[in-house]
Amino acid sequence: MRVASLEIHKEEFSFSAGHFTIFSATEREQLHGHNYYVSIAFKKIIQDDGLSFDYRYYKRKILALCAELDRHFLLPSQSQHLKLEDSGEYLIAHFNHKKLPFLKEDVVILPLTNITIEELSYWFLQKILENQQDISRHAIRGITVKVYNGPGQSGGASWGEV
């Protein structure tokens, strides 16, 4: 039995999104955006035919997740410093006694505490791990997802053997 690693980082594993990082109850970044890139790495048992597994499944999954976030403003639903209010056509983000209105169609709310590359990598990893049957079927022992918001800067989240 051999264990190998497989890393996939394609140019199309990308999305552009707006956000702001929350530093405290009173301090946050200005609204801005990034061109994000995603990579995924697997620890896997090599099969008798020399293959890991048909990783096209995970490529499609990453592409779909990137498309879900692309060209949206990302807001965290679990922040202790940010409260979100549904106001009909608008989503109002309340921060430090200020209201930040967004058109609902422009926003993706993520079950995270902040919109950072570390938290985004965790979100991608959790989405990949939703189907444990596939993880078992593909005999995957470990997964690491990284999200980059610029050259040389990434946050990562891992599961299993890394």
Q: Among candidates 34, 38, 41, which has minimal Cα distance to 66?
A: 38
pLDDT digits (tens, 9 = 90+) for 10-36: 999 999 999 999 999 999 999 999 999
Count Cβ atoms within 10 A of the Cβ of residue 42 and give its class: 0-12 exposed, 13-18 middle, 19 or more buried. buried
Question: Which one, of 56, 69, 61, 66, lies nearest residue 12 by Cα?
Answer: 66
pLDDT digits (tens, 9 = 90+) for 89-139: 999 999 999 999 999 999 999 999 999 999 999 999 999 999 899 898 888
With the C-alpha atoms ordered 52, 12, 135, 122, is the resulting torsion angle positive or negative?
positive
pTM attached to this predicted model: 0.94
Instruction: Supply the pLDDT for residue 45.
Output: 81
